[in-house]
């Protein structure tokens, strides 16, 4: 039989739910998968952007996440939410790519010597230029601190403190208990504070 296979769905299932779309995509309906992509690409992109800190790299990660998801749709089980499954793929991909990006980012940072970041226009809408400068400086310090974190700390900081995922989801993504996820987040916050505090202290001294 050529073409889209018929997929049996529960009568109560919403035709536009993630599970229904996944079932249709499993049967060969690529449009259903495209709907899933348009629905969840920003979620994956925000996570990837915080991990890679570069737009192009983040888009590459998003593309790889959805390609891998499409190739492994038969492995997806409905116990977990589709978004959780996507973020789990993104986490694994981010770990692989982080090693690759680390070296490249170091080289780029050496070339830029950090001065160019001060010349970029901030995204803030505040009118006060001094507040903008202070805010941009703080954000840069935070990004530098996050980037300096080990990968396992960076993941949980992004998931919990930037994307504000709940601990249940984080534990599902990491494959651990909720208590374990809380402990990991706590350790990551302390590690981040240890890296950012010196930067903020320098700023206060300079000001």
Residues that bind another protein (CB under 8 A): 30, 34, 37-38, 41-42, 45-46, 49-50, 55, 58-59, 62-64, 66-67, 70-71, 123, 135, 138-139, 142-143, 146, 157, 161-164, 182, 186, 189-190, 192-193, 196-197, 200
164-187 b/e (C-beta count within 10 Å ≥ 16 → b): ebebebbbbbbeeeeeebbebbee
Q: Which CB, 13 or 201, lies closer to another protein?
A: 201
State how far the alpha carbon of 26 is from the alpha carbons of 21, 43, 52, 64, in Å: 8, 22, 30, 18
Q: Which CB, 63 or 95, lies closer to another protein?
A: 63
State the nearest-atom distance from the C-beta of 11 to another protein, in Å. 30
Q: Which CB, 13 or 202, lies closer to another protein?
A: 202
Task: Say how far apart CA 23 and CA 20 lie, in whole Å.
Answer: 5
Task: Say how far apart CA 183 and CA 189 lie, in whole Å.
Answer: 10
Q: Which CB, 63 or 84, lies closer to another protein?
A: 63
CB 153 within 8 A of CB 187: yes
State the nearest-atom distance from the C-beta of 186 to another protein, in Å. 6
State the nearest-atom distance from the C-beta of 17 to another protein, in Å. 20
Q: Which residues are CB-contacts of 181 (< 8 A; sequence separation ≥ 6)?
A: 156, 167, 170, 171, 174
State the nearest-atom distance from the C-beta of 181 to another protein, in Å. 12
């Amino acid at each position: 039989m050529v073409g889209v296979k018929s997929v049996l769905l529960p009568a109560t299932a919403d035709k536009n739910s993630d599970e229904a779309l996944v079932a249709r995509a499993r049967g060969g309906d690529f449009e259903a998968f495209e709907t899933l992509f348009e629905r969840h690409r920003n979620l994956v992109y925000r996570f990837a952007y915080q991990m890679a800190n570069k737009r192009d790299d983040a888009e590459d990660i998003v593309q790889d996440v959805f390609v891998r998801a499409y190739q492994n749709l038969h492995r997806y089980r409905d116990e977990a939410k589709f978004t959780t499954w996507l973020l789990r793929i993104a986490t694994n991909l981010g770990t692989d790519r982080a090693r690759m990006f680390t070296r490249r980012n170091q080289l780029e940072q050496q070339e830029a010597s950090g001065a160019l970041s001060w010349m970029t226009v901030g995204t803030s809408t505040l009118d006060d230029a001094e507040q903008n400068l202070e805010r941009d400086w703080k954000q840069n310090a935070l990004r530098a601190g996050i980037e300096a974190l080990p990968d396992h700390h960076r993941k949980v900081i992004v998931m919990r403190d930037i994307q504000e995922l709940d601990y249940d989801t984080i534990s599902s993504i990491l494959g651990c208990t909720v208590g374990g996820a809380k402990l990991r987040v706590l350790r990551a916050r302390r590690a981040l504070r240890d890296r950012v505090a010196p930067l903020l202290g320098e700023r206060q001294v300079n000001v």
